[in-house]
Amino acid sequence: MESIRILLCCGAGYSSGLLAQKAKKAARDRGISASIDARSEAQVESFLEKIDVLLLGPHYASSLEKFQELARPYGVPVAVIPHQVYGLIDGNALLDQAIELKNKK
């Protein structure tokens, strides 16, 4: 069984929390063992040694390089969640993005 540990970085957390729930359901439906959490920007650093992928809410696109630098020592790839995936709260697409990012590293 494939497994993946994903952290979503968000602001207030409502949309990202909902997206995390949808992605967890998608993972269960697909037989993937997944840990998917949504946390605030201030909490990201404390999770870096425990995750495979860091995905940023679209509103953090301008901070992508900052998060990539923060995650580099841990070997954690970082990407921005596309607006459409975030806006539609598409758990399957988020899971696909995370798996693709993990497999690239």
Strands 33-40, 3-10: pairing is parallel
Q: Is 9 a catalytic residue?
A: no
Distance CA 92, CA 84 (A): 12
Q: What are phi and psi of 90, to 5 degrees?
A: -90, 95
Options 6, 8, 10, 34, the catalytic residue? 10
Task: Please give the angle made by the CA atoms of 46, 90 and 54, to the nearest 5 degrees.
Answer: 20
**Residue 22: closest CA among 73, 76, 97, 75:** 97
- Which residues, in sequence order, are bridge partners of residue 33? 3
Please give the positions annotated as active site. Answer: 10
